[in-house]
Structure 1
């Protein structure tokens, strides 16, 4: 009986050591670090930060603002964003890749990002090379997003928010195939939640 207890004790200790070692390995590895900069500040060049990459040559997020930022996700397909009067100022936009300090990443939460239908938008099918014909309607769903604010240089999460997209304008040219429309995040919504981190001192 004593021998059985001793064997089980060693087994439990071995499992505990393995678990602790695994946790320490994950904590020490963190984001994938790359020693170069994306060539542009537009397009998907900085999206890898949203997926766990840290660009170690990016500018450090420290000191006073503004802290140039690249924003991904949550932009609606409609015209709501283009007519939104309270857009982030030009000082938020990085002029060169070396100026990027922050990356904001938005992803829908849950199935279709939300279940409440807020609009019925027209959709079209291609009739000729240059023209389309009405082809029914498609629902637009009110969508809630998880927005993560990340430091580009380290991959550190500075803050996270949940935002319900307020852009409920139907797109002028929706996709022809089966699709789901979601309300998007307006520029003014981004400005409201990100301004303290972009314009103020680093946190």
Structure 2
């Protein structure tokens, strides 16, 4: 096992290299608990890809949650439901991942969880060679058809320190995720992110 420390900028370059090695459209997951800020890495990777002339669309998993009537059926702080029932897997597959591999017609946002209603966004056409990047937590090991996956791993102690106390109810969901879904095993790039400003890649 080799651990290579990187700056956040160099980490983005490493992810871009993985994407560039694949022809055609690419469906990339950037997965990690909230304190690792997967959406920040996704945005930087997308920007780097665009500067190389490769179209990229970032999709936040938080914009593909199920309606509150379903998501919160067992209460607002049910960690098992967070892991198993918050993400609209079918919607993400239908509107983003499947079309990214075929027509290229993807919907960047589906459900506004704060307002509990659908966004009114239009579709985006992803050209041949384009990249869709899905960023969020608890994404891997659930059968979604990603071509590449980056997992930002934060250990239990670091996660407990960095999560706001109001979100500590989510800790059992992240523990179950690590134990049952094996995100590290599904990742093409495993990033040790106990200190998000000083990531390291484990090879």
TM-score by length of 2: 0.24
Which has the higher Rg, Structure 1 or Structure 2? 1
> Which structure carries more strand by proportion?
1
TM-score by length of 1: 0.24
Q: Which has the higher contact order (CA 8 A, sep 6+)?
A: 2
